[in-house]
Amino acid sequence: MTVRAGIPLPAALPAPAPGWAIGADVVVVGSGVAGLTAALRCAAGGLRTVIVTKARLDDGSTRWAQGGIAAALGEGDSPDQHLRDTLVAGAGLCDETAVGALVSEGPDAVRRLIALGARFDEEADGRISLTREGGHHRRRIAHAGGDATGAEISRALVAAVRRAGIDTVENALALDLLKDAEGRTAGVTLHVMGEGRQDGVGAVHAPAVVLATGGMGQVFSATTNPAVSTGDGVALALRAGAEVSDLEFVQFHPTVLFLGQGAEGRQPLISEAVRGEGAHLVDGAGVRFMAGQHELAELAPRDVVAKALTRRMREQGTDHMYLDARHFGAAMWRRRFPTILAACRAHGIDPVTAPVPVAPAAHYASGGVRTDLAGRTTVPGLYACGETACTGVHGANRLASNSLLEGLVFAERIAAAVAADRPAAGPPVPAPPPGGPGLLPTGARTAIQRAMTAGAGVLRSAAGLAAAAADLDRLAADTDRKPAEPGTDTWETANLHLVARVLVAVAALRPETRGCHWREDHPERDDAHWRRHLVATLAPAAEGSALAVHPTGTTAFPATRAPSAAQDPPTSAPHRADGAAKLETHEP
């Protein structure tokens, strides 16, 4: 079965030629927990390291993380128990070897973060204070500042980067991967927005590139992600010929502050830790509806809670439910959840005296650029970690608070791999011409988001996904529009459009409900046919890169699923002569 889009996609973003260049051994794109950890470890290993970040050094998704970081740090807990909870949440698609690496290496990675200067909340006896979140059978979530864990981790890592004197290019959007004549990574092109040593389009020449650009939440109308989360890393990797996997599994956080019908952009998150401390989900009549739905009730995995909440909304003809934590009292709200308390009050809601209106919103991409256990992608010299990557840890649904831990653990693994691989590259060759229909106007972003929310949001069906695909195709096929000028807004829109089209294509190919992929027309999980990973690539076509998806094979998805040596050319994603993108299915 082949699903072919009628509109070719750009092989590269239309952009001026680089007007300046700097050199490095490794360039890290992104400044969240994954990017900063990778950069620190690479620099400590003697590698000339450059960090490229889209905004300020401390302005990525990490700083917005509220709940905490999961690791088996508490008495009676163990990596095996953490592994079991992660596998259950992942709904049959986790790579158990990758999860094993995460949970076994996680506790020491957190301790190294503390040694670096991160300060977690403590009990009176000096032990790290631990809480629970959805899907966890133990208290294993370490937190800081009550509900400001990400801000504290970001603070500690940024301070360490500055102490280490690592070269940093801020306010820079990475555009496309540079390659040498052998197809190996040779750096990235980027556009610096603002004043500094560099300005405009330039390049960092390096034989190793680490993508740690965060997620793609801005592809939907309402998300918990910051404005910088426009899928840049996944889009760059696709244009470079890398494989992406599991892109259909977008986690919708069930408890996001409901700001009214039609609210768009970044929405305030109400951390799962609020439920971990005993808050209840109730409907408009005050009835708890998670009791009896799952053994963990409100602390069931996020996909279970989001589905139950959405079903209740549909049954009652409303667009939100409520989170009731009035029994916490004012003192606990101020001590444990000061950030959430302030956000609610800023929107006219006082959780001390009234239930908080909540609804699901796009939160986390469980899929991304496909890697092995050392973060290597299928493009020699290109690595990925954090939300940009698909390591196999999350499967069909991420377990709460595993994301910060994954960033720590796999960033350290990438640094070790870069040091061991010592990737080499010749001089970069000119990028292929963009081809395709050209850049979309800035206003197309809203159309993309609304099409994705309507057709590929919490509830999906063949008809809805087909409508979303048609809307996305029409945007590209509109030849009457005024040509858009290259710039940050139009480049981001192009990235959103690309990841949206691939996401819709793979979601349409998965006729089952699994994890955070909910098909109304196929409500059951189908292990016999669909306990597989959907792996997509783009391939060159006559004009740009054509998008087609084609399920092939039933091969395993082992720990060595990407090239073991960064110098070796990829063999797992052969390009088709007809210029089609390829989608494979892999059993876990």
Strands, sheet with 382-384, edge to edge from the N-terminal-most edge strand: 167-169, 49-52, 26-29, 208-211, 382-384
More confident residue, 520 or 546: 520
Q: Compute the distance between CA of residue 467 and CA of residue 469 in angstroms, rounded to an integer.
A: 5
**pLDDT at site 518:** 93
Express each pLDDT in 501-515 by its tens digit.
Answer: 999 999 999 999 999
**pLDDT at site 539:** 73
Q: What value does the mean pLDDT take over residues 527-545?
A: 79
Confidence of residue 386 (pLDDT cuts 50, 70, 90): very high
Q: Are 360 and 306 in contact (CB under 8 A)?
A: yes
Instruction: Assess whether pLDDT exceeds 50 at residue 403.
Output: yes
**pLDDT at site 555:** 32
Helix and strand tally (H, E) in the chain? 14, 27
Q: Model pTM greater than 0.85? A: yes
HEC string of 495-555?
HHHHHHHHHHHHHHHCCCCECCECECCCCCCCHHHHCCEEEEECEECCCCEECEECCCCCC
| Of 265, 247, 248, residue with least CA distance to 256 | 265
Instruction: Assess whether pLDDT exceeds 60 at residue 577.
Output: no
Q: Compute the distance between CA of residue 197 and CA of residue 199 in angstroms, rounded to an integer.
A: 7
Confidence of residue 563 (pLDDT cuts 50, 70, 90): very low
Residues 6 or more apart whose Cβ sits within 8 Å of residue 28: 35, 36, 38, 39, 42, 49, 50, 51, 52, 210, 212
**pLDDT at site 266:** 86
More confident residue, 301 or 25: 25
Lowest mean pLDDT among 12-21, 131-140, 387-396, 426-435: 426-435
Which range of 1-15, 251-265, 434-448 scores highest in mean pLDDT? It is: 251-265
H or E element at residue 334 = helix 329-336
More confident residue, 536 or 576: 536
In this structure, the chain runs to a length of: 588
More confident residue, 11 or 326: 326
Confidence of residue 552 (pLDDT cuts 50, 70, 90): very low
Q: What value does the mean pLDDT take over residues 431-452?
A: 83
Confidence of residue 547 (pLDDT cuts 50, 70, 90): low
More confident residue, 540 or 307: 307
Lowest mean pLDDT among 57-66, 109-118, 263-272: 57-66
More confident residue, 28 or 433: 28
Q: Are 505 and 187 in contact (CB under 8 A)?
A: no
Give me the helices (H) in 353-487, please. 402-421, 444-456, 462-477
> What residues pair up with 294 in beta bridges, in sequence order?
291
**pLDDT at site 170:** 93
Residue 445 annotated among the catalytic residues of the structure:
no
The tokens describing 7, both together, are: 């509109």
Q: Are 410 and 418 in contact (CB under 8 A)?
A: no
**pLDDT at site 56:** 86
Q: Which of 302, 413, 460, 561 is catalytic?
A: 302
Query: How are beta strands 250-257 and 539-540 bridged, if at all?
Result: unpaired
Express each pLDDT in 76-115 by its tens digit.
Answer: 999 999 999 999 999 999 999 999 999 999 999 999 999 9
Express each pLDDT in 204-215 by its tens digit.
Answer: 999 999 999 999
Residues 6 or more apart whose Cβ sits within 8 Å of residue 300: 134, 135, 290, 293, 294, 308
Q: What value does the mean pLDDT take over residues 264-283?
A: 90
The tokens describing 212, both together, are: 């740690």
**pLDDT at site 55:** 86
527 CA to centre of own chain? 25
Express each pLDDT in 9-44 by its tens digit.
Answer: 677 899 999 999 999 999 999 999 999 999 999 999
H or E element at residue 304 = helix 302-316
First and final CA of the chain: distance in angstroms?
22
| Of 233, 43, 566, residue with least CA distance to 51 | 43
